[in-house]
Chain A
Amino acid sequence: MDIEKFISELADQYDDIDTSGFTSETLFKENEEWSSMTALSIIAMVDDSYSVRLTGDDIRKSQTIQDIYNIVFSKSTV
């Protein structure tokens, strides 16, 4: 897995805010666009791209993009 690619894929789930400054340390829930639909978009993207099923708890306990990347990495069999 490649963190830069992951950041870009996660950023694609946001439609309204500027994500050009997203890094691994970005607090991905701390913005005005964050909602259940963003969470679901991220879960669907991860399911589709990495064949990993994130849960609500995975999202709840993650703060930064690195946090969520680490969870996906640990669950990934690729």
Chain B
Amino acid sequence: MRFPVYKYGLFFRLVEETDAAFILDLRTNKNLARHLTSTDDDLQKQVEWIREYKTREKSQKEYYFLFEDENHQPSGVVRLYDINDDTYTSGSWLAKPGSDEFLSIKSDLFISDFAAEELKGKKCVFDVRKKNKKVLRYHKMFSTVIGEDDLNYYFTIDEENALRKYNFLKSII
């Protein structure tokens, strides 16, 4: 897939070091990032994290996307990681406060498009914090719980349900 990609009224591209301040703002926003792994409020560390990520991107182990609105203003991020022979994980979704209500749906659709094109035959496995009730309800509509621990539920989604989810989301936007 060639970037930037324009889909669902958004521009999607891969994260660069110059996005560090935007990402740090999102990840250190207590409201937004309360269900994500905590991040140090340190710009240099974020730059270094992205630099290391770019090597994982080069070896096709991870993709960190930033999506922009029609005016090319950054709106949010989403990530595909732990990509191996059979599975991959999707997560780290964050969007700027006050963004369109349906950004999460649009970015989820993009992730499905990207996975269908670039990660053919791999199954999506992911975890959701037990306290993240709304996101849990959303994933339980389409995905199967395959495990749990004190902190998380672990999910996977098969091809049939992935298509059902894709069609449901497309009918909304």
Contacts from A to B (Cβ < 8 Å)? 13, 15, 29, 32, 34-41, 43-44, 47, 53-56, 59-60
Chain B interface: which size bin? Answer: 10 to 19
Asked if B134 and A37 make an inter-chain contact with CB atoms under 8 angstroms apart, the answer reads yes
Asked if A36 and B137 make an inter-chain contact with CB atoms under 8 angstroms apart, the answer reads no
Asked if B134 and A43 make an inter-chain contact with CB atoms under 8 angstroms apart, the answer reads no
Asked if B137 and A41 make an inter-chain contact with CB atoms under 8 angstroms apart, the answer reads yes
Asked if A44 and B104 make an inter-chain contact with CB atoms under 8 angstroms apart, the answer reads no
Chain B nearest CB, measured from A15 CB (Å) = 5
Which residues from chain A contact B168 at a C-beta distance below 8 Å?
A: 47
Chain A nearest CB, measured from B10 CB (Å) = 13
Question: What number of A-B contacts does a CB cutoff of 8 Å give?
Answer: 49
Besides the known contacts A29-B101, A36-B100, A40-B172, 8 further A-B residue pairs in the complex with CB atoms under 8 A apart: A13-B134, A35-B134, A36-B103, A36-B105, A38-B134, A41-B137, A56-B101, A56-B102
Asked if A53 and B141 make an inter-chain contact with CB atoms under 8 angstroms apart, the answer reads no
**Chain B, 151-173, CB within 8 A of any chain A CB:** 168, 171-173
Which residues from chain B contact A38 at a C-beta distance below 8 Å?
A: 134
